[in-house]
Amino acid sequence: MTTTVFEVGKVNALKPLEGKVAIVTGASRGIGAEIAKVLARNGATVVGTYHNSPKHIQDVAKTIEEEGGKFHALHVDVSVYEDAERLALEVIENFGKIDILINNAGITKDRTFRKMTKEEWDTVINVNLNGVFNTTKAVIEHMLAQNYGRIVSISSIVGQAGAFGQTNYAATKAGILGFTKSLALETASKGITVNAVCPGYIGTEMVAAMPEEVLNNIVSKVPMKRLGEPGEVAQAVLYLIQADYVTGQVIAVNGGLYM
């Protein structure tokens, strides 16, 4: 009888992302902060961007560094194309490459469409959707040149099912799904995978700020009868980063609320 031996090669089973350089936008709190921590724990050098939360990004950096991980914070406004270009240039200058891009930065300005202002529409579009274009555009040539890249964008259940008072937010998150599938087709033969994750209602500060009766109503409709955890979204992102034969896909992390 012969025994087949599978070579792991240079991959560290305990830290499978060792040697990889990852950008996580909007890494100062919530889902973005947890993604940054999970990638660092798995060996990646993580560059996390922040816009309005210097104290929170310092807390993320402290946690990662105390765990022995590598983290670098950069102040970036993803809605500004030149800022996204600067981000990519600084990461390459400091770390030599970009392997992973997690498009997580996002905001909400909720209001019924009848009352929504042009400014509220434009601001959400510029951060949530144009921001994904800006950061992806800034890194894509580098990824193509190295014949490797992992791009994961954080969409939302709202982009799939809609939500009252969130036409601007829903439009951006649905747009991310179309963007993901189209870019995946363009880059599938180039060693780059492009995927998205659609969180449901996750226990972040944003969700916790909802009125209690609204939050209770949401939880009552979730088949699993609870909010999700940021770490559960981060694990889906980690899977997509490591999955070589998965591209153009959307993973829903929503407790069964939308199927």
The model's pLDDT over 184-240, given as tens digits with 9 standing for 90+, comes to 999 999 999 999 999 999 999 878 888 899 899 999 999 999 999 999 999 999 999
Is the pLDDT assigned to residue 159 strictly greater than 70?
A: yes
Task: Write down the pLDDT at residue 3.
Answer: 41
3-state DSSP assignment of residue 70: strand
Binding-site positions read 26-29, 104, 169-173, 202
Residue 229's Cα: distance from chain center in Å?
15
| 31 has pLDDT over 60 | yes
> pLDDT class for 10, splitting at 50, 70, 90?
low
Report pTM.
0.94
Write the DSSP symbol of residue 47.
E
| Residue 9 clears pLDDT 80, i.e. is over it | no
| 121-143 residues labelled b (16+ CB within 10 A) or e (exposed) | bebbbbbbbbbbbbbbebbbebb
> How many other β-carbons are positioned within 10 Å of the β-carbon of residue 217?
11
Q: Which entry of 169, 201, 245, 258 is annotated as an active-site residue?
A: 169
Burial degree of 207 (CB within 10 A; 0-12, 13-18, 19+)? middle
| 148 has catalytic annotation | no
* DSSP code of residue 189: G
Catalogue all structural domains in the chain, each as residue range(s) with its CATH number: 21-202+229-252 (3.40.50.720)
Residue ranges at the known binding site for NADP(+): 26-29, 104, 169-173, 202
- Residue 221: Cβ-neighbour burial (10 angstroms; 0-12, 13-18, 19+): exposed
- Is residue 27 helix, strand or coil? coil
Residue 253: name the closest of 90, 238, 190 by CA.
238
